[in-house]
Amino acid sequence: MTVQPPIAMLAELTHRCPLACPYCSNPLALQGKDGELDTETWADVFRQAAALGVLQLHLSGGEPASRPDLVELTSKAREAGLYTNLITSGIGLTPKRIDALEQAGLDHIQLSLQGTTADLADWIGGYKGGFERKMLVAKDLKRRGIPLTLNAVMHRHNLDDLDRTIDMAVELGARRLEVACVQFHGWAVENRAMLLPTREQTETAKRIVAEASKRLRGILAFDFVPPDYYADYPKACMGGWGSAGLNVTPDGTVLPCHAAETIPHLKFENVKDRPLAEIWTDSAAFNAYRGTDWLPEPCQGCERKEIDFGGCRCQAMAIAGDASATDPVCGKSPDHSKVEAMLQQAMAAGETGFTYRRMPPRS
C-alpha cells in the first residue's frame, strides 16, 4: 500500500514534570533525564520530520519547559519550517522565557487546565501553588496576544465544573477549548475507578458543549473528546495507525501513538539508529496496523471501517488482551461486556484517592 506522509509529530522532549497528574498519558515507566536526546539530535529530527511532510509540531512532555534548551529547540523547529505548538502546564514559563519563545517564533500555546479552582486543580495536579502560577502565565499570554488553546482534561471530579471551565476559557482569551475527557492509557489506567465519569455526567457534558459551541461561535472554538467507554463506536485513534501522526519519546523512540509501547510484541525503532522517514514508511511497528487489510471481523464487514479503523489498538490490548482485536468500546465487539463490567466496577469502587504519576527512584 502507498504510505501517506504524516501531518503531525508529537515530540515528548522530556518526561520530567513538576506536576503529577494521575491521568498523564506518559507511560508508567517514565524515562529519566540521562536518556533524553540532546539539542542537536532533536533539531535534526525536526528537519527530518519537515522533509517527510510533517507540518505541525507539538512540543510536549512531561513538561517541555523542564528542558533548559526549549527556546533553542523552538527556534530550530521554526527554521525547519514547522508550525510550533507548545503543550505546557505553564510551570517554568517566566516572562523572560516567554519573551525568548516569542522571539524564536513560537506559534501557539496549549495550556493544560486541571481544575477551575486552586483547591481542585492543585489536588488533581499533585502540585501545590500550580494553579496560581498557571493563572499568572495565562494572563501574561493574553496580554501578549499569543494564540492560546486551553486544554481542560475532564473526569468525574471536574466535569461538573464544565460551565465554569468554558467561562474561564473565554476570560483568559483562549481561541480554542479542548474539552478532553480522560482517555484510559498510561497513568489513567491506574486511576480508572477514580476518573471515570458517570453516564449522567457524560450526557450533561455533551449537551453543555453542544450548547456552548453554538452560543460562542466566533468567540471560542471547541474540540470535544467524549468519554469513550460510554460511546457506541470507538474513536478513530490517530485517524488510523501510521496514517497522520507520530510520536517521538524523550530518548528518540518513534511510536505511532503515545501509548503504543503497551503493545508488547511490537519493536519500536529509534531516530538514533535509523532515519525517521524509513521508520515511518518501512518499520514493522508502523505497518502492523496500517490501513484496513489487517482488520478482524466484525470490523472487516462493517460500514464504519474507513471511519474508525477498528478503533484504538492500545485499548484493544488493554481490555481484550489482543492488539489486533476490535476495540472493545465498540458495541459490536465480542469483548464489549468487559467495558460494561469496568464501568460498573468503577462506579461501585468509591473514593480511593489518586495514584499520582511519579518518576522511578534513581538507581
Residues from 317 through 346 that contact another protein (CB under 8 A): none
Nearer to another protein, 58 or 67 (CB): 58
Given 149, 158, 183, 191, the residue binding another protein (CB under 8 A): 149
Residues from 206 through 235 that contact another protein (CB under 8 A): 216-221
Q: At residue 328, what are phi and psi to the nearest 5 degrees?
A: -60, -15
d(CA 96, CA 101): 9
Nearer to another protein, 79 or 322 (CB): 79
Closest CA to 45 of 3, 5, 77, 8: 77
Binding-site size for another protein (CB under 8 A) equals 28
- CB of residue 54 to another protein, shortest distance in Å: 9
Instruction: Give 51-55 contacts, CB < 8 A, sequence gap 24+.
Output: 51/277, 52/5, 52/6, 52/276, 52/277, 52/280, 53/5, 53/6, 53/7, 54/5, 54/6, 54/7, 54/8, 54/9, 54/82, 55/7, 55/8, 55/82, 55/83
Given 55, 120, 170, 225, the residue binding another protein (CB under 8 A): 55
d(CA 308, CA 108): 29
**From 47-55, 197-205, 280-288, 317-325, span contacting another protein (CB under 8 A):** 47-55
Q: Is 108 in the site for another protein (CB under 8 A)?
A: yes
Q: Greatest CA separation found in the chain?
A: 57
Q: Which residues of 336-351 are buried (b: 16+ CB within 10 A; e: fewer)?
A: bebbeebbeebeeeee
Q: Is 147 in the site for another protein (CB under 8 A)?
A: yes
- CB of residue 73 to another protein, shortest distance in Å: 18
Residues from 168 through 197 that contact another protein (CB under 8 A): 175-176
Given 15, 16, 58, 156, the residue binding another protein (CB under 8 A): 58
Nearer to another protein, 268 or 280 (CB): 280
Nearer to another protein, 49 or 339 (CB): 49
Q: Is 77 in the site for another protein (CB under 8 A)?
A: no
Q: Is 146 in the site for another protein (CB under 8 A)?
A: yes
d(CA 97, CA 91): 11
- CB of residue 61 to another protein, shortest distance in Å: 16
**From 103-111, 185-193, 229-237, 308-316, span contacting another protein (CB under 8 A):** 103-111
Q: Is 5 in the site for another protein (CB under 8 A)?
A: yes
Residues that bind another protein (CB under 8 A): 5, 7-8, 50-53, 55-56, 58, 81, 83, 85, 107-108, 110, 145-147, 149, 175-176, 216-221
